[in-house]
Chain A
Amino acid sequence: MDGAESAGGGALIVPETVVQSALMDGERVIGVHTGRPDGDLYADVVIAADGVNSLLAQNVGLRDEIPPDQVAAAVKEVITLPRETIEDRFNITGDQGVTIELYADATWGMPGTAFIYTNRDSLSVGCGALLSQLMERSVQPNDLLERFKSHPVVAPLLEGGETREYLAHLIPEGGLHGLPKLSTHGMLVVGDAAMLVNSMHREGSNLAMTSAKFAAEAVLRAKERNDFSAGSLSHYDGLLRDSHIYKDLYKYRNMTRFFETHPEFFGLYPDLLNEAAREMLTVDGESKRAKQRKIFWDAMRKRKPWTTAIDFFKAWRSIA
Chain B
Amino acid sequence: MKKLTLEQKLFLVGFRPDAESHLRIIDQDKCRQCEMKPCTYICPVNTYRWENDQITVFFEGCLECGACRIACAECENLEWSYPRGGFGVNYRTG
Taking beta carbons and an 8 Å cutoff, which residues of A are in contact with B?
15-18, 20, 34-36, 52-53, 55, 65-68, 71, 73, 75, 77-79, 122, 131, 134-135, 138-142, 146, 149-150, 155, 158-170
* Contacts A/B (CB < 8 Å), 5 sampled: A34-B85, A55-B81, A131-B71, A164-B12, A166-B63
Q: A146-B3, A158-B1 are in contact. Are A73 and B65 (CB under 8 A)?
A: yes
Q: How many residues of B contact A (CB 8 A)?
A: 34
Tell me whether A161 and B42 are in contact (CB under 8 A).
no
A168 x B85 contact (CB < 8 A):
no
Q: Counting CB contacts under 8 A, is B55 at the interface? A: no
- A170 and B66 contact, CB distance less than 8 A: yes
Chain B 49-88: CB-based contact to A (< 8 A → 1; otherwise 0): 0000000000000010111011101000000011111100
Tell me the smallest distance from the CB of A80 to a CB of chain B, in Å.
Answer: 9
Residues of A within 8 Å of B36, CB to CB, are: 135, 138
Cα(A159)–Cα(B44), bound, Å: 23
The complex places the Cα of A116 from the Cα of B44 at a distance, in Å, of 19
Main SS of the interface on chain B?
Answer: loop
Interface residues of B (CB under 8 A from A): 1-4, 6, 9-10, 12-13, 36, 38, 41-46, 63, 65-67, 69-71, 73, 81-86, 91-93
Q: Which residues of B contact A134 (CB under 8 A)?
A: 42
Closest partner residue, chain B, to A53 (CB atom)? B66
Given contacts A35-B84, A165-B13, A166-B9, contact A71 B70 (CB under 8 A): yes
Q: Are A142 and B12 in contact (CB under 8 A)?
A: no
Chain B residues with CB below 8 A from A168, complex form: 44-45, 63, 65, 67
